[in-house]
Structure 1
């Protein structure tokens, strides 16, 4: 039986995609530029332009998105199947109500003070609602053309001894950091259920690498006027996050979690998943 041969040299087209498209992704997320007197990364410039172009319709867009997210589990009936979905549905309904208050001006006067609903709507909800879908488009350039895989290969020898996770978790860790941490948590959970992560490894990734994302860091940086030092802010946050994760893996409760890799059932009680000893 003929074995498939691995080519010694990659086609030039793959190198072009790897270097060219990955470089565009790095530029979009990590290189601040000055446009119109505003210095920020390109993806944030796009969000600013769209927000300005939409004007007051940005609030309508957010209301539609939140409404859709609230009624979707009701229409599909998914909220009945998992206990936590009921709690999330209640929070979504509360969020929808507060969004309606913020846009319409209804509700208690206390909620409409400058640092309450107006601040949340204009500084957090609208920017996040715009940057997540836009960031997802350009995130493909970072994760789909070899940059993350090469990063994972380079970090393979340090992931296990330093963070006590498999070598391939380097890809998951970086993807969690530069992408959406909520999506990263879903990915980690799926890999955990399939048995590719042990309980301890999944918990390390979820509570360490997946606690922050570049997209949300942009929101925080804009709120605190830190975009002038975006590079320093980003890399400092990355180093601190990974350093703290390396420490917390060695202390309870993470150090006491089960470290055996096996497939898990979604119906298995969470208490049994988390605190089985080796």
Structure 2
């Protein structure tokens, strides 16, 4: 018979370590009329601490990443190839090599205000630089705290308890509920990075990780309030946010059963293999098995692993992800801002909105598609709309579409999950087309 892992030492690791992770990522902290998380406070503190120098730090990181990636691609030096951290950051494919070089060019032009306005303007490059600055602070804030949330047992504990509900509804492990909570209270990109790390450690299959990234990474409550204020319906925030939650859950249930999500390989990361078991053995209570699983996980937790794991996340995010985000995000925003592409392709969406009786349907149609580029742009496009109900519908839609290339999409594509740009756009359109009648029905009932 297997010896129980439930003892005083492991219980303390589980309780204290998990408490620190929950305090950092999940515990709601009042902030004005809303609430946020300690991670958000740390992010804001770091942004204020670095101030204007943050842009120059980004120049060093992104330009340095481009130079070392080019050097590795040409020379293939052992000091990079044989180093665990450096190889993850600088060993790259030709596509990502070009992307990093382009990102370096963009960030230099943006920070030093040189080059065409369509690259450096507040609507394109400057927006992406600010996003990358935020991402820099988020990653610095959570890299060394993430193991307390993922490796001390709380995900195993909740995973076992919530599996009977989460698995049949969403086709994912119960531990995925942590990703959902982390996103709703914190930041969607933080939740996506959390999911990516869990996949790399063998706790999600490719299908599960791809599904969680594209369905559970809802933006935080404070940002929802910001959107409501931007479009001028802050007085309607309670039904506005309720609609986001209801529609978000319905979409998550439906999308799990549609391609391309249901066609993704249901296999674990090849090198790591399966590292999860939430099935409760016979003649064992749910609570006792949840406690046993959490203590078994906590038993292997060591503080030295926090440093090594944090450094791995830090190197990957700073030198591999941020350069990709700045290059791809800037290009996407240039297309959205300075070309009529979204106006042209949104005409069918105007007809679709009109089918459900949405006022000013063709005027707001571009906002239904431009959310694929960035989550804040739709709110700016509809700010001048006169119909309150239309503002409500499009505002909610922009927040349940989830797959924003500047915020989430670039991270998903850069991960090992087999979701390319086309598949992400297909999921985005599925969410959009299904959400519009649901949101319209909700708006007609409450407004």
TM over 0.5: yes
Q: Which residue in 2 is equivalent to 1:42?
A: 38
Q: Distance in 2 between matches of 1:185 and 1:158?
A: 23
Q: Distance in 2 between matches of 1:78 and 1:161?
A: 49
Q: 1:131 offset after TM fit, Å?
A: 0.7
Q: Which residue in 2 is equivalent to 1:203?
A: 207
- 1:22/1:141 contact within 8 Å kept: yes
Counterparts of residues 207-226 of structure 1 (less than 5 Å): 208-211=211-214, 217=220, 224=227
Q: Which residue in 2 is equivalent to 1:5?
A: 3
Q: Distance in 2 between matches of 1:185 and 1:62?
A: 23
Q: Distance in 1 between matches of 2:75 and 2:94?
A: 6
Q: Distance in 2 between matches of 1:49 and 1:145?
A: 26
Cα deviations across residues 220-249 of structure 1 (Å, max 9, x unaligned)? 5697488x9xxx999987776554233122
Q: Distance in 2 between matches of 1:38 and 1:249?
A: 31
Q: Which residue in 2 is equivalent to 1:273?
A: none
1:137 to 141, 144, 149: 144
In 2 relative to 1, CA 63–183 (structure 1 residues): closer, same or farther, beyond 3 Å?
Answer: farther
- 1:67/1:96 contact within 8 Å kept: yes
1:128 to 135, 150, 172: 135
In 2 relative to 1, CA 244–215 (structure 1 residues): closer, same or farther, beyond 3 Å?
Answer: closer
SS, match of residue 188 in structure 1: helix
**TM-score normalised over the length of structure 2:** 0.44
Q: Which residue in 2 is equivalent to 1:174?
A: 178
2:115 aligned with 1:107 = yes
**TM-score normalised over the length of structure 1:** 0.66
In 2 relative to 1, CA 110–101 (structure 1 residues): closer, same or farther, beyond 3 Å?
Answer: same
Cα deviations across residues 237-263 of structure 1 (Å, max 9, x unaligned)? 77765542331222234445666x599
The root-mean-square deviation of aligned C-alpha atoms, in Å, is: 4.4
2:160 to 138, 153, 158: 153
2:60 aligned with 1:59 = no
SS, match of residue 115 in structure 1: coil
2:99 aligned with 1:88 = no
2:166 aligned with 1:163 = no
- 1:132/1:215 contact within 8 Å kept: no
SS, match of residue 137 in structure 1: coil
Q: 1:49 offset after TM fit, Å?
A: 2.0
- Long gaps (5+) in structure 1: 271-278
Cα deviations across residues 139-161 of structure 1 (Å, max 9, x unaligned)? 22211221111011112334443
